[in-house]
Amino acid sequence: METRQEALIDLGEDSTPVDVARVLVDVDLPQLDHPLDYLVPPELAPQARPGRSVRVRLAGRRTTGWIVAREVVDPGARTLQPLLAVISDTAVVSPAILHLARSLADRTVSTASQVLSLALPPRHARTERAVLAEPHPEENRVDTPPPPARADHRGGGAQLEHLAAGEHPRAVWTALPTSRDAQLCALVRATRSSGRSVVVVVPTTAQVGEVRALLAADLGEEHVEALTSEDSAAHRYRVHLEALLGRVRVVVGTRSAVWAPVEDLGLVVVWDDGDDRLVEQRSPHLGALDVAVARARSEGAGLVAGAYARSTKAQALVQAHWAASLVPERDALRAATARVWVPDDFDRDREGAAAGSHLPPSAQRLIRRQLAVGPVLVQVPLAGYVPVVSCQRCRRVARCTHCGGALSLHRDGSITCAWCGRDPQSWRCPECAGTRLRSLRVGSERTGEELGRAFPGVALTISSAQRGTTREVGEEPRLVVATPGAEPHARGGYAAVLILDAPAIASRPELWAPEEALRRWFNALVLARPGVPAVVLGGVERTLAQTLVRWDPADFAARSLDERAALGFFPAMTVVALDGAPEQVAEVVDEARAQVMGTVPRQVTAAPEAEGSAGPTRPAATVRPGAGRGSTEAPMGTDAGAPGRPGPAQEVRTLIRVPREDSEELFARLRTIQQRRSSRRLPLVRVSVNPPELF
């Protein structure tokens, strides 16, 4: 038997105005992506306040939602459901975050509840009671003036002055290794001196710990909170509530920290925005920079997108005159960076046949010379022994006959699939019927083995996510072999940096490959001591080589953006990917009325996912989800007929595009299409705006 609160309440045509809560229900149905009216029972009226989570009934099922507003309305002839319960004892979502969720949902053709699922941590009742029982601490405001800006960036001083005055400057910052920490502290201190809050977003948990310790020591504040994906549910919910209550004014965290609902947001700093770990794996695949830009616009906050390199997306903010460009002065740049050498054709011809080896004689001479004065870093693109092998006869990449994954060679001579782990038994090349394999990419384990033989008696450290990451090494002579992102810091800096097998990323056919390669290389080069030699081996395209030698990533980002504009790609154009059954995608494309760029098959195979993957299926026609931009998978539309894969395409992906000024009109049409299809119980087509795996 239903209780009184659960029963339907028929108010009749002549009913008087009633107290109604407008509730955004936590469902992902497009046709229900708007607040619904629920009657507020008298006993729940004191607790049913905007921002609190509630339990309601929808379509006969109990679910949760968030109160958006309370109003007294005339219901007319409607029959209203009552609120079943108020779950939270305080508001868990602020009006600013609700507005932001609605805005981002409109721009990504998703629902507000999908966006809020990224922004709000799960409720933890015990933590909520504990936080509400604590007294509100006194405001710990930084009253000392912000430190003067270093003279290595033109415009850096004006930026700090504007932040300290309570204004909201926006900048894309190309940092120097010698002044990055000081400049970051100056940005946060200037914002805090105006009484406003700061959110700093970095790609990894290790960086969160370093930046939090740095800011806490500089500001003298105990409440510089860290927020990472590795934290417990209780800690994440505590930081969320304390930020809402104004008790936390500085938050440092990984990608989810960009949603921290701090009071009076003054500045959002996104460090290394080109790192794909700052892109949400769940739909709608929002990047931290996307959310930061939207928050800066809606909340009137400042924004700094900083990195040692520069992404095309960040450069688009500069060329749209929405953000200023902060680049180092040339004198400061020369005094703070290594001297980069990229061998050209003349250098390789002079060295002879040995120039094509994995570790040419010139590189060995450089290592031997610099080991006399300190540690040497050798960056390799991939972990493992020989992570990619190919047919010895035709050089085609060897792939698993079961799932299509790349085959890897191990130290003991065994060969397994990098995806499913199966032993291919008797492998035969589908192109030339060859049966012998050769190494195509050499990993960190094999590189360490070669260096150990070439330099006996020298200490050797191998750092990678597969083997384990080393955090720091000393100043003594040592060889350090590391994969991108796993490079340990050396006290005093490295005496030399070598980047091997440069084409592994830079020569990939994907649009993002050169940008990603530069980001990884610069992140390794900044670990070197100023003025020491650094070399990039394997062959690099001339534009990339000049970018490295001149240490000018901003110029490369501007060139890349101009090329994309000429080709009609993101961010010059808005590109939308439609995934689904061929007939369903065709129907949506006809109604969307946008330019069609092309259609490719998406063949889905069932295979175990890599760590960090977004789901149990792997689309063979796109970059593998969760594999990151350094994966060895085939690019879009490649190797579609590999043995062992399904014959007919299960799905297709169609790309459509419109000029950026027509984006909102296209998004509105797609939302209407999705709502109509959902209400008619037709299969929904998956929509991805500017898919990150392509751009």
285 and 142, same structural domain?
A: yes
Residue 389 forms part of a structural domain: no
CA–CA distance, 177 with 180 (Å, rounded to integer): 5
Given this model, what pLDDT does residue 135 score? 79
Residue 422 resides in a domain: no
Based on the structure, what is the number of domains in the chain?
A: 4
Question: Between 649 and 180, whose confidence is greater?
Answer: 180
Nearest alpha-carbon partner for 149 in 173, 126, 123, 116: 173
Q: Is residue 109 part of a domain?
A: no
Q: What's the whole-number mean pLDDT along residues 36-58?
A: 94
Whether 458 and 377 share a structural domain: yes
Contact indicator for 577, 654 with CB cutoff of 8 Å: yes
Measure Cα distances from 81 to 24, 67, 129, 130, 332 in Å. 14, 14, 29, 32, 66
In a shared domain, residues 141 and 198: yes
Listed residues 66, 87, 108: the one ending a domain: 87
Say if residue 577 is in the same domain as residue 646.
yes
Residue keyed to tokens 């500001």: 219
pLDDT for residue 286 is more than 70: yes
Residue 638, in any domain of the structure: yes
CA–CA distance, 465 with 492 (Å, rounded to integer): 24
Hey, what's the torsion of the CAs at 630, 636, 639, 640, to 10 degrees?
A: 140
Average pLDDT over residues 257-283: 94
Domain at 296, CATH number: 3.40.50.300
Q: What per-residue confidence (pLDDT) applies to 368?
A: 95
Domain contains 118:
no
Indicate whether 150 and 70 sit together in one domain. no
pTM, to two decimals: 0.86
Clarify whether residues 352 and 324 are in a common domain: no
Does 571 sit behind a cis peptide bond, omega within 30 degrees of 0 on the bond before it?
yes
Q: Which of 63, 109, 115 is nearest to 84 (CA)?
A: 63
Amino acid occupying residue 76: G
Query: Is residue 561 in some structural domain?
Result: no
Q: Please, which residues bridge with residue 173 across strands?
A: 306, 326
Tell me the pLDDT tens digit for each residue of 144-168.
Answer: 555 555 567 788 888 999 999 999 9
* Whether 234 and 137 share a structural domain: yes
Alpha carbon of 55 to those of 35, 41, 66, 83, 364: distances in Å?
A: 14, 13, 9, 7, 67
Mean pLDDT value across residues 628-644: 38
Among candidate residues 332, 363, 396, the one where a domain is terminated: 332
Q: Are residues 56 and 170 in the same domain?
A: no
Summarize pLDDT for 401-411 with one digit per residue, the tens: 777 778 888 87
Q: Where are the alpha helices (DSSP H) in 176-259?
A: 180-193, 205-219, 233-244
Cross-strand partners of 406: 399
Same domain, 448 and 313: no
Cα–Cα distance measured from residue 468 to residue 484, given in angstroms and rounded to the nearest whole number: 13
Examine the domain organization and report whether 544 and 637 are in the same domain.
no
* pLDDT tens, position by position, 4-38: 344 444 444 556 888 999 999 999 899 999 999 99
Domain hosting 483: range is 338-384+443-550
Alpha-carbon span 6 to 560, nearest angstrom: 59
Residue 147 lies in a domain: yes
- Residue of 240, 51, 244, 245 whose CA lies nearest to 136: 245
Task: Work out the average pLDDT over 429-448.
Answer: 83
Of 50, 69, 87, which one is at a domain's C-terminal end? 87
Q: What does DSSP assign to residue 44?
A: G
Provide the angle, in degrees to the nearest 10, between the axes of the packed helices 553-567 and 312-319.
80
Domain membership of residue 563 (yes or no) is no
- Band of residue 626 on the pLDDT scale cut at 50, 70, 90: very low
- Enter the DSSP assignment of 121: P
Q: Do 423 and 414 meet the contact criterion of CB atoms below 8 Å apart? A: yes
Distances, alpha carbon 639 to alpha carbons 175, 390, 428, 530, 635, in Å? 40, 14, 16, 45, 9
Let me know whether 225 and 248 are in one domain. Answer: yes
Residues 317 and 356 in one domain: no
